């Protein structure tokens, strides 16, 4: 299963990922935390294109929203995927390679 969610606050809360991993392991579930690295231009373009009601505040207050983001992956991240415009390797190829590594 792949759970897609930002978890930005949680991942930067000390111990959260470790506690979450422990709970999952207790249920026989392995987890891998992937960090999707992006730049503000790419994020802005994606959010505009997505055109979701939940993003209206972000777009209207872009500088304020952007100030809450970080480029630094939190501790415990298994792999990083480069989602910036112009990344050397396509997002699809990076995702396939990462999944192959995780499933082996």
pLDDT in tens, 7-66: 777 877 888 888 988 999 999 998 888 888 888 999 999 999 999 999 999 999 999 999
On whether residue 3 sits in a domain, the answer given is no
* Torsion sign across C-alpha atoms 9, 11, 14, 17: positive
- As a whole number of angstroms, the distance between CA 36 and CA 81 comes to 5
On whether residue 73 sits in a domain, the answer given is yes
On whether residue 2 sits in a domain, the answer given is no
Nearest to 70 by CA among 98, 95, 40: 40
* Count of domains observed in the chain: 1
Q: 72 versus 39: which is more confidently predicted? A: 39
On whether residue 88 sits in a domain, the answer given is yes
- E-strand ranges in the chain read 34-37, 79-82
The single residue listed with the structure tokens 């935390």 is 33
Domain housing 63: 8-103
On whether residue 1 sits in a domain, the answer given is no
Q: What is the mean pLDDT of residues 92-99?
A: 93
The single residue listed with the structure tokens 């994606």 is 46
On whether residue 69 sits in a domain, the answer given is yes
């Amino acid at each position: 299963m792949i759970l897609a969610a930002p978890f930005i606050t949680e991942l930067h809360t000390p111990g959260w990922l470790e506690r979450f991993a422990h709970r999952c392991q207790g249920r026989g579930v392995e987890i891998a935390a992937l960090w999707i690295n992006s730049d503000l231009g790419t994020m802005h373009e994606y959010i505009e294109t997505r055109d979701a009601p939940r993003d209206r505040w972000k777009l209207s207050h872009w500088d304020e929203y952007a100030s809450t983001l970080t480029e630094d992956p939190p501790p415990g991240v298994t792999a990083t995927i480069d989602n910036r415009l112009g990344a050397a390797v396509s997002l699809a190829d990076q995702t396939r390679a990462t999944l192959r590594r995780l499933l082996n």
